[in-house]
Amino acid sequence: MSQNPEPELLARVRNVEKLFTSGKLEVQALRGLSFDVPAGDFLALVGPSGSGKTTMLNLLGALDRPTKGTVEVLGKDLGTLSKGERASLRLSSLGFVFQAYNLVPVLSAAENVEFVLELQGVGAAERRERSLEVLTELGLGELAHRRPNELSGGQQQRVAVARAIAARPRLVLADEPTANLDTESAETLMGMMRDLHEEHGTTFIFSTHDPRVVAHATRVVRLVDGKVASDVHKEREGSRRAVGSEGPNDGAE
C-alpha cells in the first residue's frame, strides 16, 4: 500500500544559537534550537518574554544571522547568503506581518498592498487587480482608497496581512499580529489567516503570547530560555514531543 509523500521541507533549523552583545553585556537569546517547518504549517512560536520567539522569527526571515548553527529556508542556508541575496529571498518568497503594522502613512490601503508587488516588477494593472482582490478577500474592498490614519487598528492589521500575502509568498512570518487588537478584531484576523492558509496552502509562522493565536494554530512550538521545550501538533493524536539541542527528536530538559 503506497504512503502519502512527505510534505516539502520549507525551513530547517539546526543547533541554532544567537548571542547579542552590547559593550560588556552579553545576552544568549537562543541556545541550540532545532526544528523543521514543512510546507503548509500553521505554526505558533510561544513562550515567556525573553524566550527567543522574535529572535527566531527574525532568523527565519533572513533579517539576522545565527551566531552558531544553520537556518535553511527553501533549501538555502541563510547564514551563507550575501545581504543582497537575503533581500532577494525576502522579496520573492517571504511575507512579513509586524506588530506595529509598518504601513506607509501617505499611501492608501491599496497602494500599501501594491508596494511589494511594484518592487517585484509586477505591472501597474496587475498590481491594482491583485491588491483589490486580496483586500476584498479580507473584507476591506470598500476601504481600499483610505490611508492608514483613516482605518481602525484591526483594519490596518488586515492591510498589513494583505500586503504580506498579495505577493504570493511561500512563507508568512507574523510577529505578535494580534497584540494591539481587541478580541473581536483578533478573532476575525486569525480566522481570515486560517482561511487563507487552508485555501492557498501558504505556510504561516507566528511569534505570540496570545492564546487567541494559539487556539487557531495547528502546531505549537514552545520556547523556554532559548530552547525548544515542546513541539505539539494539535491535530495529530499522540504527537506531543520534547525537542533538544541535537535534533527534532532528542529529549529536552
Write down the domain spans for the chain: 9-233
**How does pLDDT run across 125-170, given as a tens digit for each residue?**
999 999 999 899 888 889 999 999 999 988 998 899 889 888 888 8
**How does pLDDT run across 236-249, given as a tens digit for each residue?**
433 344 433 334 33
| Contact indicator for 50, 64 with CB cutoff of 8 Å | no
Residues paired with residue 94 on neighbouring β-strands, in sequence order: 171
* Coil, strand or helix at 100: coil
Sheet holding 171-175, edge to edge: 94-97, 171-175, 203-207, 42-46, 219-224, 227-233
Backbone phi, psi, residue 18, to 5°: -140, 120
| Contact indicator for 94, 206 with CB cutoff of 8 Å | no
**How does pLDDT run across 5-24, given as a tens digit for each residue?**
677 889 999 999 999 988 88
CA separation for the pair 47, 65 (Å, rounded) = 21
Which pLDDT value is given to residue 251?
Answer: 32
The strand ranges marked E within the chain are 9-22, 25-38, 42-46, 68-73, 76-77, 94-97, 171-175, 203-207, 219-224, 227-233
Domain 9-233 = CATH 3.30.1330.10 = no
**How does pLDDT run across 84-125, given as a tens digit for each residue?**
999 999 998 999 988 777 899 999 999 999 998 999 999 999
**How does pLDDT run across 213-237, given as a tens digit for each residue?**
999 999 999 999 999 999 999 864 3
Which pLDDT value is given to residue 4?
Answer: 60
* Coil, strand or helix at 210: coil
Which pLDDT value is given to residue 5?
Answer: 65
Q: Which of 30, 83, 62, 72 is nearest to 223 (CA)?
A: 30
